[in-house]
Chains A and B, each alone.
Chain A
């Protein structure tokens, strides 16, 4: 009698312990699946982060960059307090698209992996101007396109202002 009681007790406890362990492990496995951001979210974050970099980084912080330094030396960039986005706006406004393209290209190459397609456009009213377009992958063949838009504007002097317009950054894979 004692023996059977003892066995039943042990079985009961071990069973409970195993049960709770299984529940915990199951929870961990299920919830751990959510730690890794979905691919679409990762790409979207990359586009947004790149947008923030362009929006907030000032030209004076990029003086050591050879291409930027060259533009400063050639007086293409005269106001280094402008952010990258503002400088591109300025070049766009004064129809200097080649230098705007060069600037975005040189700053983007090390930041966005080659496996991604990339484009930087300015949407000014009804006009859309593609400043830079990296077509390592054709956008029509891509499985996913992520677009990040930011409002852009620039006071050019006391009486003139560019914008508000939209800067659209597209990343695709």
Chain B
């Protein structure tokens, strides 16, 4: 036995059992600590993987959430498109309704009728009689929204509950109206018996709606024999340039004749706006439009009147009201009557003769 081993044995011989156990416990603690460290290390390394695993363990609910998210994004676009389509049809239907029932008393009466037509398809939602029917068929807003909610429930098992809080219509452009709908909806997954996810949203959607192609309310409602059926067509429409579109000083006999024959409307601050025409308001508007009426489209045209549409229907530009009416003919040989102010503005005074007084 070498010296070292001898010394070690000697040392061991002098150690009591208690002391020996204490020494071993220390070593055991060291090993335990190392094993705990290993455990922590494993957990740290794989914790990310564990969370991924947990996510992957819920493919059904993840998929449903993705599907409902896509549906909601589509729903918002659909609501916007439906507002445009419904507004367009509602305006024409209100014009038709007014031909039978007369002009609205003021803007608020028109607004109420517009809201009711959009939400229930009747001018008065509390009186859904044939006489109050807007005749919108499948085009009123609620019908369109009910369509998509029924389809989503039937085909996608998505439950949508919505409420139209308000609808307003304004005009800030001669050939467009603006419709704002305040709407709230709640979307839930109907396939789930547990209430794990739902979408609550309040939307204020504003959409511009063109008036091009709509009936001109003033003439359509006013013309006693129901001959007048002119629709709004813009003078110099999209991608078309027309004489004097941007230069009012260029009007003359030739250019006015082109405008007259086109049966179109041009924007002018002396005219009345499209919406004003529903409550027979002839005040000038920044979004005013005007056209020259053809006597052939009027029932018993009044020759003592100016054929500028908003003047004609207002009845304020007649010889009886002290205005000078001039007479001229265009190449169509139609006998045109204009008030002196308009004839001067269109530079037609030299081509016309005084008709009255």
Summed over the interface, the residue pairs from A and B with CB atoms below 8 Å come to a total of: 108
Find out whether the CB atom of A48 lies under 8 angstroms from the CB atom of B27.
no
- B71 at the A/B interface (Cβ < 8 Å)? yes
Q: Roughly how many angstroms separate A21 CA and B75 CA in the complex, as a whole number?
A: 53
Find out whether the CB atom of A2 lies under 8 angstroms from the CB atom of B20.
yes
Find out whether the CB atom of B28 lies under 8 angstroms from the CB atom of A12.
yes
Please encode chain A, from 65 to 98, with 1 for each CB lying within 8 Å of some chain B CB and 0 for all others.
Answer: 0000000000000000000000000000000000
Q: Roughly how many angstroms separate A158 CA and B213 CA in the complex, as a whole number?
A: 9
Q: A20-B38, A166-B151 are in contact. Are A34 and B57 (CB under 8 A)?
A: yes
Q: Roughly how many angstroms separate A12 CA and B20 CA in the complex, as a whole number?
A: 16
Residues of B within 8 A of A45 (CB): 63
Within 8 A of B (CB), among A151-173: 151, 153, 155, 158-161, 163-166
Q: Roughly how many angstroms separate A159 CA and B155 CA in the complex, as a whole number?
A: 27
- The smallest C-beta distance from A59 to any residue of chain B, in angstroms, reads 17
- B10 at the A/B interface (Cβ < 8 Å)? no
Find out whether the CB atom of A166 lies under 8 angstroms from the CB atom of B155.
yes
- A114 at the A/B interface (Cβ < 8 Å)? no
Find out whether the CB atom of B32 lies under 8 angstroms from the CB atom of A13.
yes
- The smallest C-beta distance from B28 to any residue of chain A, in angstroms, reads 5
Q: B35 contacts which of A17, A34, A161 (Cβ < 8 Å)?
A: A17
Chain A residue with Cβ nearest B209: A158
Find out whether the CB atom of A35 lies under 8 angstroms from the CB atom of B52.
yes
5 A-B Cβ contacts within 8 A?
A: A16-B32, A32-B53, A35-B52, A48-B66, A48-B67
Given A149-B155, A151-B78, A164-B147, 13 more pairs with CB closer than 8 A = A6-B20, A9-B24, A13-B28, A17-B35, A20-B35, A151-B155, A153-B78, A155-B81, A158-B210, A160-B85, A161-B81, A161-B144, A165-B151
Residues of B within 8 A of A (CB): 12, 15, 17, 20-21, 24-25, 27-28, 31-32, 34-35, 38-39, 42, 46, 49-50, 52-53, 56-57, 59, 63, 66-67, 70-71, 74-75, 78, 81-82, 84-85, 88-89, 144, 147-148, 151-152, 155-156, 209-210, 212-213
Residues of A within 8 A of B (CB): 1-2, 5-6, 9, 12-14, 16-17, 20-21, 24, 28, 31-32, 34-35, 37-38, 41, 44-45, 48, 52, 55, 123, 149-151, 153, 155, 158-161, 163-166
